[in-house]
Amino acid sequence: MKLTESSEMYLETILVLSKKHDRVRSIDICEYMNFSKPSISRAVNSLKDADYLKIAPDGGISLTESGEKIAKKIYERHTVLSKCLTSLGVDESTAVRDACKIEHDISDETFNAIKAYVNKISSEKS
């Protein structure tokens, strides 16, 4: 199943929040994404129904194995693309915004080439 950009963003957000907090709640996602509670609720329930999320009895939200795999892929794309753009001289806030747009549409082949290039440049600077 091909996820929408929005669904990928929710999964990535939950991954990021889970690194900062012991427990991720809907309100945390609302605050992080600046979306309304009803929007978050619909998305979370949809992702749960598709087996990308689990919701604990106390309301804690966590990624399933398949949800985590997708979230990690999108997060890696975001960080590598941001790093690449800043190395080209793009200011950090613009690079982060642009990486967020690109990360959902870029092919695996192109991303892997960019990742190899960024790694090569990083190792040459060391």
* Predicted pLDDT at 1: 57
Band the pLDDT of 123: cuts 50, 70, 90.
confident
How confident is the model over 17-43, as pLDDT tens digits?
A: 999 998 999 999 999 999 999 999 999
Q: What is the pTM of this model?
A: 0.89
The domains of the chain, with CATH numbers, are 5-69 (1.10.10.10), 72-125 (1.10.60.10)
How confident is the model over 95-116, as pLDDT tens digits?
A: 999 999 999 999 999 999 999 9
Residue showing tokens 């949809």: 46
Widest Cα–Cα separation across the chain: 50
Kindly write down the DSSP assignment for every residue of 48-91, as one continuous string: HHTTSEEE-TTS-EEE-HHHHHHHHHHHHHHHHHHHHHHHTT--
b/e string for 35-64 if b means 16 or more Cβ within 10 A? Answer: beeeebeebbeebeeeebbeeeeeebbebb
Nearest CA among 3, 38, 39, 40 for reference residue 25: 40
Residues 67-82, mean pLDDT to the nearest whole number: 96
Total Cβ atoms within 10 A of residue 31: 12
Query: Quick check: 125 pLDDT over 90?
Result: no
Q: Percentage of residues in the chain with pLDDT exceeding 70?
A: 98
